[in-house]
Amino acid sequence: MKKNFSHIIFCVLTFCNACGDKYTPPPTLPPPDDTAVVDKYQAIALNLNANGSFTVDDNLLNINLYGTNALYGVCLPQIAEGHFIAETSCTNVANKSGYGIAVINLKEGKPDFGNFTAITVVLEGNYPLIEAVDRQNGIDNVLDNTNTIAANKLASRYCLLLNAEQYSVPFTAVNGKVKILRNAISGFFHFYVGVEKNIDGVTKNDWVELAQSKDWSAQGQKFLVAPIAVTKTKDKTHSKFIDTKIDKFEPSDIDATSSFSAARREFVWAGFKGDAIVITFDKGTKTGQQGHKFVFWSEANYVPMWIMNNELAFCYEFVEVWSNKGVPGCFEPMSDRLKRFSGAEILENSPLRKVVKWDYTLVNPDYNLPAPGNQKPEVEEIYTIYPDGTGTRKITFRQKTDGGFRSHHELAEPMVISGSSTIPADHFGSPALKVSNAEEATFELLPSRNLNVETVKAWQEQIYTVNLNNAPNPFCVFAYSQNNKQTAPLAITPEFTWHNTHYQMSHFPTDRQPYLNGYDKSMADFPSQISHSSVIGIEAMENTDWTDDYLTDTNGRKYRVYISLIGLDMDKNNIAAQYTQTWLYKGTVQTSENCEFKEMDYAEKTFVLSKKAEGICNVVFSKNIINPVLKFENADLSNLNLKIDNRSFTDIITEKRGNDFYIFINKKIEAGSLIQIEN
């Protein structure tokens, strides 16, 4: 059934360009028209010129607006409070309709004309113009009531012209969607407009963001949400809205999973939510008891992260290159804000392990390549995660080799990501970083900067452990030697010229604002912003002309493979060295005659064996190992009985995969111990 309403409420708002103008109500504010609250929809004209009317027909809201520089909205009957997203979609953007959404204080059951915030889009020229507008306690367009953003920057931070001329905003088209997030953790409003862009023949949609605005409302304030029609220089507009909703949700992840599992689902962190692959751990393990998760999240462009708690995440970063042809920016997956190239999928999901593939292309925020030519620098990463919270990261890197491109590249950059009420420095211990090898030669860094790069580069294995407050210490390991290039074809070089613990770089992960500080970063305005700080770069700096130390795929494309060990040191007792010893095993493996040790599979983190005859297979390691994974090729040991030093041991996980049989042994095994495998 269609319903028709028309209503004008007079109040003064200098729209968009003025900041700090005092709201002066008319001598007598007219009482609300009764027709405005029929079926509980309430119309609100937010400035003197706004002459509007609306109809509601099932899921479609039609708003007609007359008057220049005008705002007119229709409040939903639902009340918003706490942590929520208010979102709507304008369906007739192609007709250059002006649209937006407002969050308005609720006062005595009515919209409070003196207190609202809104995001607006007008399509009256060749390009969309996005603006945030508000009224705070009767003052128009305060926007930043913390006085953090300089007055001469307010217009540029709360207004954005989508003409593709501003670096990191390569958009000229909007898709009609707008939303406001009220983050109950930080106490800030976030403003978003949906954009779209065709990239290599595929049209992708996502969000751009304006600067945040601190919520000035009283504790426990309730709100109304209103799709709004907007004009600027035009004197009328007709806007149609569908899918208007108030999404109330908890600002942290709610997950009842108590087992070692991998699932694709909605994931929430620090008040933001999106699609994710979430790996959780058994509650019987220390990793599971503390609720840590390994997550590939859309709001981080699927860059994998350890989630320690709702204020602390950690990531190893990714492959990154830089242009030698004068193209600005960093070429990395965090630049792919539309997620055109970055995506993740589960390859294996068994009790033994979780395997996730993550693909991405190295572009800058404008989706440019680092040099001329059509060839793209492309990366595939395979993460294999075991029940003890350790795993491997297999990096397959196809460099761009046309257009005269020559560049070294980064493999990792361990970084802390702080949530909506902390900064990165809150989470680092002192020293913040330890760089060591399996023999425990160590540099303790930050605040110290006494790192000998050449010494570390010469080590056959490099263990990078980050010291965190009130959380386990994440680590990653890279290894290279002339005698074994299976884990790295080139020497690994640490880069430590600028990294530190005190940065608040906010362009990643959740932020969708334009880059604010040159071509490579944004620094946070507010302590509440999600931000990151990285502590060291781990790089492959040699052989940038790709003349050797590469493989070739079936298409003739050159690539290199790097494998890294990753995990958490739950007790901060330098267990990373023990895991490294197991992964890069340099001892001997003795077996009985009916089985044979063949090799280490570094990408799977497995000892590969074969069983040549029936009977008990005996295995003895000459060095200590921890939580080993044994892989028996072409064998089925489904009915096995495993003993260690003649005692039955049942804390194992087994899996038959294809023709092979895997055994995960959850135990530190001392050198010389006898492992007996009977089937």
442 — phi, psi (to 5°)? -140, 140
Look at residue 32 in the predicted model and tell me its pLDDT. Answer: 38
Q: Reply yes or no on whether the pLDDT at 256 is more than 80.
A: no
> How many beta carbons lie within 10 A of that of residue 232, not counting itself?
19
Look at residue 518 in the predicted model and tell me its pLDDT. Answer: 93
311: Cβ contacts below 8 Å, ≥ 6 apart: 270, 418, 419, 420, 421, 422, 426, 427
Q: Reply yes or no on whether the pLDDT at 301 is more than 70.
A: yes
Look at residue 48 in the predicted model and tell me its pLDDT. Answer: 81
Determine the Cα–Cα distance for residues 195 and 204; give it in Å rounded to an integer.
8
The confidence band for 156, taking pLDDT boundaries of 50, 70 and 90, is: very high
The confidence band for 68, taking pLDDT boundaries of 50, 70 and 90, is: very high
Look at residue 5 in the predicted model and tell me its pLDDT. Answer: 40
The confidence band for 94, taking pLDDT boundaries of 50, 70 and 90, is: confident
Contacts 24+ apart (CB under 8 A), 276-283: 277/344, 277/345, 277/346, 277/356, 278/253, 279/354, 279/356, 279/385, 280/255, 281/387, 281/389, 282/258, 282/387, 283/258, 283/259
Residue bearing the bigger pLDDT, 38 or 47: 47
Per cent of the chain over pLDDT 70 is 94
Look at residue 679 in the predicted model and tell me its pLDDT. Answer: 87
Q: Reply yes or no on whether the pLDDT at 25 is more than 50.
A: no
332: Cβ contacts below 8 Å, ≥ 6 apart: 318, 319, 320, 321, 362
What does the pLDDT average to over 649-662? 97
The confidence band for 22, taking pLDDT boundaries of 50, 70 and 90, is: very low
251 — phi, psi (to 5°)? -80, 0
The 10s digit of each residue's pLDDT in 349-393 is: 999 999 999 999 999 999 999 999 999 999 999 999 999 999 999
What does the pLDDT average to over 620-635? 97
User: HSE on the CB side for 257, CA within 13 Å?
Assistant: 20
The 10s digit of each residue's pLDDT in 540-583 is: 999 999 999 999 999 999 999 999 999 999 999 989 999 999 99
Per cent of the chain over pLDDT 90 is 88
DSSP string, 432-459: EEEEE-TT--EEEESS-----HHHHHHS
Residue 298: strand, helix, or coil: helix
Residue 271: both structure tokens together: 């008040």
The confidence band for 214, taking pLDDT boundaries of 50, 70 and 90, is: very high
SS3 labels along 155-209: HHHCEEECCCCCCCCCCCEEEEEEEEEEECCCCEEEEEEEEEEEECCEEEEEEEE
The confidence band for 15, taking pLDDT boundaries of 50, 70 and 90, is: very low
Residue 313: strand, helix, or coil: strand
Lowest model confidence (mean pLDDT) among 265-269, 288-292, 294-298 = 288-292
How far is residue 542 from each of residues 47, 323, 347, 491, measured CA to CA in Å? Answer: 63, 16, 32, 7
The 10s digit of each residue's pLDDT in 463-497 is: 999 999 999 999 999 999 998 899 999 999 999 99
The 10s digit of each residue's pLDDT in 381-436 is: 999 999 999 999 999 999 999 999 999 999 999 999 999 999 999 999 999 999 99
Look at residue 289 in the predicted model and tell me its pLDDT. Answer: 87
Look at residue 35 in the predicted model and tell me its pLDDT. Answer: 35
Lowest model confidence (mean pLDDT) among 282-291, 438-447, 531-540 = 282-291
Single-letter amino acid, residue 386: Y
Residue 276: both structure tokens together: 């994710």
Q: Reply yes or no on whether the pLDDT at 26 is more than 50.
A: no
The confidence band for 17, taking pLDDT boundaries of 50, 70 and 90, is: very low
Look at residue 440 in the predicted model and tell me its pLDDT. Answer: 83
Nearest to 350 by CA among 384, 308, 314: 384
Look at residue 33 in the predicted model and tell me its pLDDT. Answer: 39
What does the pLDDT average to over 453-470? 97
First to last CA, the chain: 72
- Output the average pLDDT for the chain: 93
Determine the Cα–Cα distance for residues 572 and 570; give it in Å rounded to an integer.
6
Mind listing the domains of the chain with CATH numbers? Answer: 2-248 (2.60.120.200), 261-573 (2.70.98), 585-678 (2.60.40)
Determine the Cα–Cα distance for residues 378 and 87; give it in Å rounded to an integer.
35
What does the pLDDT average to over 22-30? 34
Q: Reply yes or no on whether the pLDDT at 16 is more than 60.
A: no
Q: Reply yes or no on whether the pLDDT at 37 is more than 60.
A: no
Determine the Cα–Cα distance for residues 362 and 334; give it in Å rounded to an integer.
9
Residue 643 near residue 676, CB atoms below 8 Å? yes
The 10s digit of each residue's pLDDT in 176-209 is: 999 999 999 999 999 999 999 999 999 999 999 9
Look at residue 125 in the predicted model and tell me its pLDDT. Answer: 83
Q: Reply yes or no on whether the pLDDT at 9 is more than 60.
A: no
492: Cβ contacts below 8 Å, ≥ 6 apart: 411, 457, 462, 478, 479, 480, 538, 539, 540
Look at residue 459 in the predicted model and tell me its pLDDT. Answer: 97
Look at residue 291 in the predicted model and tell me its pLDDT. Answer: 92
Look at residue 257 in the predicted model and tell me its pLDDT. Answer: 82
Residue 561 near residue 380, CB atoms below 8 Å? no
Residue 39: strand, helix, or coil: helix
Look at residue 324 in the predicted model and tell me its pLDDT. Answer: 96
Determine the Cα–Cα distance for residues 103 and 80; give it in Å rounded to an integer.
9
